[in-house]
């Protein structure tokens, strides 16, 4: 049975949208052949039905993706549970659906099974292909030093429920070439639910992995994995729970490569604290954040997706990364996002035509960054807000503390920057400083003005009224600012620690790069 991954907090209008799954038509992304999402086509009526609190930028991507699976608490009853008592190297149960062979406990039938006690061995689910199996962990400790500790071989849907007030541990040493390469491994759809706690450790490979859909809808879950912490091959969704993830690979991952409507990661709620040697979130297709709280510290990308990436709610803090946010189609439509990166902060790249050097070549290869709402703060050692294609801002509040090196810029685009709404400030080096296009409907200004970490930057109009004020986080030589308070052609003053520079709105700063990669007014 397939059930859509719909967080309970989402409005019914959105639920109706995503229930339609692949049948829904929506066209995310630009119209260029390299980045257009050809999975579906536009349907204004469907998008119009979405509650106004769920921006179309995210709703379109949700509509474009296939149905996922989740086992809800109302689909089973604890009153039906049959007890499996784990006892060292063996176990016991009166259930006809349980067999015990030495230290291997096998669930062979649909039903609800309560596991309690400690087992040095393995729990296996080998039920009929149409079976729904619920494993209630209630003070369970399962350890397997030679492979997976919980392995689902066959079933339709499997849920692991963490009993209220219980503490549970699953420890394994799985390997990449094994049939089950995770401490908890499901060759089926898998849901983690409940209000208890679970500590998962895998010294050989992944923590929790499902070859189909993986949904986290509750629990306090700690995962320490040699490779990926959480992996749902078809999809990975987090709706609720408190997750602490440590990964030698990616923290949250979906990597279905054969179906363009799968391979997505959706964070709809919960609290996630993840540390990863690779990516924090890695999606083969789409990465969506519509709620929750995320804290990501990574050695590679904070959030990476191959097709499209949307943040429309929640709070995201990427405290350490190589590149903070990377995808071909990036949409910021809500929430609060903070990015710290050693290279690019937000980088739209990845199409087949992307070149090398200077942010992927000088040509516009079709990637897009679109910002319509929310708060985005970037602190980047490379380019701050970067696109191998275009950058479009229609709303929101964006602050970029860009690089100190002259070979990168706080703003960097190959296809131009247009601003029609919101507030944008970019403070960085002068060498590659870029300003918005002449065609931008909203006024902007650019100044060659220098300062250091802790410097106060003020934007003042001709009457001396302070329009905006910022505190720099590092040394800089360029300031670009746009807001509804700026009128094209009018004079303004940019003051840094008492030193003022007069500028005319709509004119690129001397030595910088104007709209359209160097075309100055």
The full 3-state SS of 240-288, as one line of letters, equals EEEEEEEECCCCEEECCCCCCCCCEEEECCCEEEEEECCCCEEECCEEE
Rounded to 10 degrees, what is the CA torsion of 318, 320, 322, 323?
A: 20
Lowest-confidence pick of 131-140, 240-249, 430-439: 430-439
Residue 226 sits in the same domain as residue 185? yes
End-of-domain residue from the set 33, 53, 73: 73
Q: What are phi and psi of 279, to 5 degrees?
A: -90, 150
| Residue 500 domain flag | no
How confident is the model over 183-193, as a mean pLDDT?
97
User: pLDDT-based confidence at 509, cuts 50/70/90?
Assistant: confident
Pairwise CA distance, residues 238 & 292, whole Å? 9
Residue 187 sits in the same domain as residue 142? yes
| Residue 215 domain flag | yes
Residue 142 sits in the same domain as residue 175? yes
Residue 131 sits in the same domain as residue 210? yes
Residue 33 sits in the same domain as residue 173? no
Higher pLDDT among residues 42 and 302, named by residue: 302
Pairwise CA distance, residues 114 & 123, whole Å? 12
Q: What is the pLDDT of residues 230-246, one digit of tens each?
A: 999 999 999 999 999 99
Residue 53 sits in the same domain as residue 124? no
Pairwise CA distance, residues 447 & 462, whole Å? 15
Higher pLDDT among residues 161 and 24, named by residue: 161
pLDDT beyond 50 at 521 = no
- The predicted structure's pLDDT at residue 40: 37
| Residue 83 domain flag | yes
By percentage, how much of the chain surpasses pLDDT 90? 79
| Residue 116 domain flag | yes
- The predicted structure's pLDDT at residue 400: 97
- The predicted structure's pLDDT at residue 439: 87
Residue 198 sits in the same domain as residue 66? no
Number of domains in the chain: 2
Residue 17 sits in the same domain as residue 154? no
Which whole-number Å values give the CA distances from 314 to 320, 332, 435, in the listed order?
A: 19, 11, 29
Pairwise CA distance, residues 29 & 44, whole Å? 15
How confident is the model over 345-358, as a mean pLDDT?
63
pLDDT beyond 50 at 415 = yes
User: pLDDT-based confidence at 476, cuts 50/70/90?
Assistant: very high
- Strand 499-504's sheet: what is its strand order? 466-471, 456-460, 491-496, 499-504
Residue 28 sits in the same domain as residue 88? no
Let me know how long the chain is: 521
- The predicted structure's pLDDT at residue 22: 28
End-of-domain residue from the set 187, 213, 233: 233
Lowest-confidence pick of 61-70, 109-118, 440-449: 61-70
pLDDT beyond 60 at 452 = yes
| Distance, C-alpha 70 to centroid of its chain | 20
Helices (H), 9-154: 12-19, 44-48, 56-64
Pairwise CA distance, residues 206 & 227, whole Å? 5
Residue 34 sits in the same domain as residue 113? no
Residue of 148, 122, 116 lying closest to 135 (CA atoms): 116
Q: What are phi and psi of 250, to 5 degrees?
A: -90, 150
| Residue 111 domain flag | yes
How confident is the model over 444-470, as a mean pLDDT?
96
Q: What is the reported pTM?
A: 0.89
Residue of 317, 274, 272 lying closest to 292 (CA atoms): 272
Query: Residue 172 belongs to what domain range?
Result: 78-233
Number of H helices, E strands in the chain: 4, 41
| Residue 23 domain flag | yes
| Residue 120 domain flag | yes
Residue 49 sits in the same domain as residue 137? no
How confident is the model over 178-189, as a mean pLDDT?
93
End-of-domain residue from the set 73, 96, 114: 73
Residue 159 sits in the same domain as residue 57? no
User: pLDDT-based confidence at 175, cuts 50/70/90?
Assistant: confident
- The predicted structure's pLDDT at residue 510: 66
| Residue 316 domain flag | no
Lowest-confidence pick of 24-38, 103-117, 345-359, 432-446: 24-38
Q: Which two tokens stand for residue 34?
A: 């390299």
């Amino acid at each position: 049975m397939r059930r859509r991954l719909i967080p309970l907090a989402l409005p019914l209008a959105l639920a109706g949208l995503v229930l339609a799954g692949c049948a829904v038509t929506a066209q995310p992304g630009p119209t260029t052949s390299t980045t257009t999402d050809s999975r579906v086509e536009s349907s204004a009526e469907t998008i119009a039905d979405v509650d106004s609190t769920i921006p179309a930028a995210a709703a379109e991507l949700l509509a474009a993706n296939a149905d996922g699976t989740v086992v809800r608490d109302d689909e089973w009853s604890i009153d039906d549970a049959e007890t499996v008592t784990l006892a060292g190297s063996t176990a016991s149960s009166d259930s006809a659906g349980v067999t015990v062979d030495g230290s291997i406990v096998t669930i062979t039938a649909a039903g609800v099974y309560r596991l309690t006690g400690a087992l040095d061995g393995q729990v296996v689910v080998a039920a009929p292909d149409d079976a729904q199996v619920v494993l209630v962990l209630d003070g369970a400790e399962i350890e397997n030093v030679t492979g997976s500790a919980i392995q689902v071989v066959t079933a339709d849907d499997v849920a692991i429920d963490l009993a209220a007030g219980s503490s549970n541990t699953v420890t394994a040493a799985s390997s990449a070439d094994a049939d089950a390469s995770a401490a908890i491994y499901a060759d089926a759809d898998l849901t983690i639910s409940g209000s208890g706690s679970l500590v998962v450790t895998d010294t050989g490979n992944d923590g929790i992995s499902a070859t189909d859909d993986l949904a986290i809808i509750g629990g306090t879950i700690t995962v320490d994995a040699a490779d990926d912490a959480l992996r749902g091959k078809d999809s990975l969704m987090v709706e609720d729970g408190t997750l602490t993830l440590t990964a030698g690979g990616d923290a949250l991952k979906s990597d279905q490569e054969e179906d363009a409507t799968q391979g997505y990661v959706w964070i709809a709620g919960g609290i996630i604290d993840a540390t990863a040697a690779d990516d924090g979130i890695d999606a083969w297709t789409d990465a969506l954040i519509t709620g929750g709280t995320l804290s990501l510290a990574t050695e590679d990308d904070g959030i990476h997706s191959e097709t499209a990436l949307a943040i429309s709610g929640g709070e995201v803090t990427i405290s350490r990364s190589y590149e903070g946010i990377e995808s071909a189609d990036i949409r910021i439509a809500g929430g609060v996002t903070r990015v710290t990166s050693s290279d690019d902060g937000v980088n739209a790249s990845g199409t087949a035509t992307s070149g090398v050097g200077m942010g992927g070549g000088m040509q516009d290869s079709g990637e897009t960054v679109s910002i319509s709402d929310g708060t985005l703060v970037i602190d980047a050692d490379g380019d701050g807000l970067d696109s191998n294609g275009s950058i479009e801002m229609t709303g929101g509040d964006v602050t970029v503390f860009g690089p100190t090196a002259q070979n990168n810029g706080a703003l960097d685009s190959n296809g131009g920057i247009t601003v029609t709404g919101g507030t944008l400030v970019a403070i960085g080096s002068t060498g590659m400083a870029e300003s918005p296009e002449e065609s931008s409907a909203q006024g902007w200004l650019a100044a060659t003005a220098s300062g250091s970490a802790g410097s106060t930057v003020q934007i003042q109009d001709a009457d001396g009224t302070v329009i905006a004020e910022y505190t720099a986080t590092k040394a800089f030589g360029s300031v670009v600012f746009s807001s509804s308070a700026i009128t094209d052609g009018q004079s303004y003053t940019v003051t840094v620690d008492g030193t003022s520079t007069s500028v005319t709105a709509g004119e690129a700063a001397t030595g910088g790069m104007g709209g359209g990669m160097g075309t100055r007014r």
